[in-house]
Amino acid sequence: MTSLALRPLVLDTGDTAWLLVASALVLLMAPGLALFYGGMVRSKGVLNMMMMTFGALGVIVVVWVLVGYSLAFGDDVGWGLVGDPTQFFGLQSLMSEDSNGDGTVPRILFAVFQGLFCVITGALVSGAIADRARFGAWLVFVAVWTVLVYAPVAHWVFDFSAGDHVGGWIANDLGAIDFAGGMAVEICSGASGLALALVLGPRLGFGKDPMRPHNLTLVMLGAGLLWFGWFGFNAGSALAANQTAAIVFTTTLLAGAAGSLGWLLLERLRDGHATTLGAASGLVAGLVAITPSCGSLTPLGAIAMGGVAGVVCALAVGLKYRFGYDDSLDVVGVHLVGGLIGTFGIGVLGSAAAPTGVDGLLYGGGVDQLGKQLVGGGAVLVYAFVVSGIIGVVIDKAMGFRIHEEHELTGIDQVVHAETAYDLHATAGARSGHSVLGTMTHREDNE
């Protein structure tokens, strides 16, 4: 992540145009994730799964504009831990052109771009608690989590000191590298998801009843949209239309492809079949791992990083069965493990020839950078896990986080949202007052 403050003084229309597009691409990841996750749950929970993403989108962008951006990118109020929460309230002070400071892109656009990172991170967490979370409790969680977990972590990782501005400790004091969010997005969402999965407990019938994905074509479509959006996520983090963005675009492409191949190869050898879900999961694993490292690797390094992530994440998703936690859609196995691979991998595969790279172990750079990466990644993991767990427990005690057992068995879509995703039977949706399986009441009929 390049700091706005380090860039030249004049706004650049090319940079601004690219960041506008990149921001829209990151927003596209939200419906992409909704499809990716929605296809992986059973048909009776697909709408709720999608609504957790769309609900997070609604809550987070509002909270971000009110207070999140200030906490993340306001002047540090102590030890590099958190920004001044009132500094950019409502982004009011970023309305005028004078507010752009010394960047080449409008600061308000940077604020929104960063807010969309928070959206996708929060939405990722929901995959760990599919089919069993109360929708209202989930919305409360993402609001509090934005303030207490994501914004501080973003401050640590993304907020660089410059001039009078003092930023966060991981970016400035520690010097760990996280170009587009291996720590702030991937490790943070994975650790938060693990904490919530433990707080809510496993789905009824977990490990016993079949809970296979109900629509793999949605999963493939969602994965494709995620990959498309990821170019905005990673290459947009260059905050400029330049050589760095081009290199990051390249490494993002390569790591996704190699991740997919790695996962498929492992599946073919272990299970005998190369599956569509494996192809989609592997490309996401590769993209997760390249997120922190996309500016620090050579193209060959990106292939290695993606391939390793594809194989290791494919192995890691089995951990939930071994340890008995129901991380329903493998947020831990793909995002936490993939984020750790990418974050730590910089210390091994990093190359000084890359825009934000330093020579890692394999390039003769010693263990110095690896140590920094371990400290940064470890700190984010522990912080996100502990604080998300506390928020989850408090919400559970205060208002209940989990839906009623009977509602879970009936299907969360029908009970929570009064909708079902698919009307496949002529008898289930008659338009008149009488139908075989249900009765429809027009509002006019009651007047």
Q: Which residues are at the interface with another protein (CB under 8 A)?
A: 210, 212-213, 267, 270-271, 273, 275, 277-278, 281, 314, 317-318, 321, 330, 333
Q: Least Å distance between CB 324 and another protein?
A: 14
Question: Are the beta carbons of 34 and 217 closer than 8 angstroms?
Answer: no
- Rounded to the nearest 5 percent, the helix, strand and coil shares of the chain are 70, 0, 30
d(CA 312, CA 40): 21
Cα angle: 108, vertex 120, 343; to 5 degrees: 100
Measured from the CB atom, the residue of 134 and 320 that comes closer to another protein is: 320
Q: Least Å distance between CB 40 and another protein?
A: 8
Measured from the CB atom, the residue of 425 and 434 that comes closer to another protein is: 425
Q: Least Å distance between CB 424 and another protein?
A: 10
Measured from the CB atom, the residue of 212 and 431 that comes closer to another protein is: 212
Q: Least Å distance between CB 344 and another protein?
A: 23
Q: Least Å distance between CB 267 and another protein?
A: 7
CB atoms within 10 A of CB 160: 18
Measured from the CB atom, the residue of 10 and 426 that comes closer to another protein is: 426
Question: Are the beta carbons of 337 and 313 closer than 8 angstroms?
Answer: yes
Question: Are the beta carbons of 146 and 68 closer than 8 angstroms?
Answer: yes
Question: Are the beta carbons of 374 and 177 closer than 8 angstroms?
Answer: no
Measured from the CB atom, the residue of 115 and 213 that comes closer to another protein is: 213
Q: Least Å distance between CB 421 and another protein?
A: 19
Nearest CA to 277 among 262, 260, 254? 260
Show the tokens assigned to 275.
């599956």
Measured from the CB atom, the residue of 212 and 434 that comes closer to another protein is: 212
Measured from the CB atom, the residue of 254 and 288 that comes closer to another protein is: 288
What would you measure as the largest C-alpha separation in the chain, in angstroms? 79
Q: Least Å distance between CB 277 and another protein?
A: 5
d(CA 189, CA 181): 10
Q: What is the DSSP letter of 202?
A: P
Measured from the CB atom, the residue of 275 and 414 that comes closer to another protein is: 275
Half-sphere exposure of 67 (CA within 13 A, CB side): 13
The secondary element (H helix, E strand) that includes residue 437 is: none
Q: Least Å distance between CB 270 and another protein?
A: 7
Question: Are the beta carbons of 336 and 194 closer than 8 angstroms?
Answer: yes
